[in-house]
Amino acid sequence: MAVTQYQRIVFGLKVRQFRQEKGWNFEELSRHSGISISYLNEIEKGKKYPQPANRVKLAEALGVSLEFLTEPRLTKKYAPLGDLLQSNFLNELPLDLFGIDLQQIVEIIARAPERVNAFISAMLEIARRYSVQEENFYLAALRALQELRNNYFDEIEQAAAEFVRKHRLPDNGGVPTAALSALLQSEYNYRIDQETLSQYPEMRALRSVYNPAQKRLMLNGQLSERQRAFQLAKEIGFNVLELKERPLASSLLRIKSFEEVLNNYKAAYFAVAILINRAAFVRDIGLFFSRPTWDAQVLPDLMGKYQASPEVLFQRFNVLTQDFKLEKVFFLRFIHDLERNAFDIDKELHLNRRHQPHASGLSEHYCRRWLSISLLHTLHQHQQETGDKERQIAGVQRALFLDSGEEYLCIAVAKPAYPTPNRNVSVTLGVLLDEQTKRIIRFWNDPAIPQITVNVTCERCRLTDCMERAAPPIVIQKRETRRRAQETLKKLTEK
């Protein structure tokens, strides 16, 4: 039976522990066991698992039973590490993507087991308490990779540009859905099915499902032309980039590996790159930024020109770092659940730094003054008054964060989350208003753009006259209570 990585690591940790308890270095253990120093070093690092004869020699030298030395259970000293390894959490993480080897982690832990294992125990407890699962880590790891690359992948850009040239797709406007559908069928032998999903009510929120055995792409019949174009382009991306490990549904209902998450993102990136030509978009955005005043019609016009949804259009703003040298940028997507009247961030990206507007897992109320949320309020009010379920609203704001003093120029679009019922979404681009931004975006100081003081969450906001407050500032109140208690303690304990 093949020895697992877990067995090698556990065996090595036990050898290290009992060697150190005897106060021996490698040379002394080598002398007592008859095993070379270099091989002992490999054993303790979890890289080698000794043959039966050498396992017996080590057990006798260390004064422990062979059964205990080889069983999978770790001693109390390394028990938290054992819990972490047995959870398979580390093995599933994309460590190689970041140049990290599992043995390196184990070696770091083994150097200071008590403190590091206390840290691991705390992290596992936090993960259990806040339901942090592998899926959350995969998505966080993907976001970290995007941020490290400034959300710009030149190899995918080149593949998309070559595909557009080869198949003579439009490079300065919308790519016809019919052309994408025809390419999938002629180049990759796909069957396009727009009937099957409608037979299953529980699938109405999904935009597509792919059956690899039949090479059949099942599209939601309720998709708009723009949404259908994206799904078809994304499917082409899986094939052009030869991404084998992939999700079979448009939404990641069940994540099996990081590779699946990464490949899903790559295919989506490819789709955006062929739907919105980079060179044409850079020209359009350059003209937009050169205007002296804000024009709310530009974004809808661009969506119309490229036949793109707001999500696709805002994803294409990844050219900002590459072509406009605007590096302090964030993207947010909010979901407004109309039944709960709740606002949640389901996607975020921060380039160059961790920006003030960010997701919180503490069930707190995001600042209602954010453009992302105020546009959703406006959209919902419009829907209630008119019954219009298709309108999209664009807006702009200069958001001045109360605590940090940082100011962002925010541009956003709010729309219905079609075909998902009872939901609206907003996508927001924020750019830190530094000197580079002011040089590039000429309309930044347009008097028509509202400048509003904001914060991250209501619970952490010290504004006293906020009419939009959704919850009391309980974190501020607790902090003030602790401050007064500390001052009183100081008085009581001084001479």
Please indicate, yes or no, whether residues 44 and 176 belong to a single structural domain of this protein.
no
Of all helices (H) and strands (E), which one includes residue 204?
none
- Confirm whether 333 is domain-assigned: yes
**pLDDT of the residue at 230:** 93
For residue 419, cis peptide bond before it (omega within 30 degrees of 0): yes
Please indicate, yes or no, whether residues 216 and 180 belong to a single structural domain of this protein.
yes
Please indicate, yes or no, whether residues 351 and 420 belong to a single structural domain of this protein.
yes
- Confirm whether 253 is domain-assigned: yes
Long-range CB contact pairs, 346-351, < 8 A, 24+: 348/143, 349/143, 349/146, 349/147, 349/151, 350/147, 351/147, 351/150, 351/151, 351/321, 351/327
Among the listed residues 81, 26, 103, the one whose alpha carbon sits nearest the alpha carbon of residue 58: 26
Please indicate, yes or no, whether residues 213 and 358 belong to a single structural domain of this protein.
no
- Confirm whether 304 is domain-assigned: no
Please indicate, yes or no, whether residues 330 and 470 belong to a single structural domain of this protein.
yes
Of all helices (H) and strands (E), which one includes residue 106?
helix 102-111
- Confirm whether 295 is domain-assigned: no
Domain of 423 in residue numbering reads as: 309-479
Task: Report DSSP state, residue 188.
Answer: H
**pLDDT of the residue at 130:** 52
Please indicate, yes or no, whether residues 10 and 118 belong to a single structural domain of this protein.
yes
- Confirm whether 359 is domain-assigned: yes
| Residue 281: C-alpha distances to residues 75, 140, 358 (Å) | 60, 28, 27
Please indicate, yes or no, whether residues 237 and 370 belong to a single structural domain of this protein.
no
Tokens of 62: 């260390």
Q: Are 62 and 22 within 8 A, CB to CB?
A: yes
Among the listed residues 208, 212, 202, 232, the one whose alpha carbon sits nearest the alpha carbon of residue 222: 208
- Confirm whether 162 is domain-assigned: yes
- Confirm whether 34 is domain-assigned: yes
Long-range CB contact pairs, 143-151, < 8 A, 24+: 143/348, 143/349, 145/97, 145/262, 146/265, 146/349, 147/349, 147/350, 147/351, 150/318, 150/321, 150/322, 150/327, 150/351, 150/352, 151/318, 151/321, 151/349, 151/351
Q: Are 434 and 332 within 8 A, CB to CB?
A: no
Last residue of one domain, picked from the residues 275, 294, 320: 275
Q: How many domains is the chain partitioned into structurally?
A: 3
- Confirm whether 495 is domain-assigned: no
CATH at residue 91? 1.10.260.40
Please indicate, yes or no, whether residues 160 and 78 belong to a single structural domain of this protein.
no
| Residue 15: C-alpha distances to residues 6, 102, 401, 428 (Å) | 14, 18, 54, 54
Q: Are 250 and 204 within 8 A, CB to CB?
A: no
CATH at residue 177? 1.10.10.2910
Please indicate, yes or no, whether residues 55 and 185 belong to a single structural domain of this protein.
no
Last residue of one domain, picked from the residues 104, 132, 160: 132
Q: How many CB atoms lie within 10 A of CB 415?
A: 21
Please indicate, yes or no, whether residues 166 and 70 belong to a single structural domain of this protein.
no
Q: How many CB atoms lie within 10 A of CB 429?
A: 21
End-to-end CA distance of the chain: 72
Please indicate, yes or no, whether residues 96 and 172 belong to a single structural domain of this protein.
no
Mean pLDDT by 10 residues, the chain (495 residues): 77 86 90 91 86 91 87 70 62 63 68 63 60 64 84 94 95 91 94 90 86 93 90 95 90 77 94 95 96 93 92 92 90 91 87 70 82 93 88 93 90 88 92 94 95 90 87 89 91 83
Please indicate, yes or no, whether residues 118 and 157 belong to a single structural domain of this protein.
no
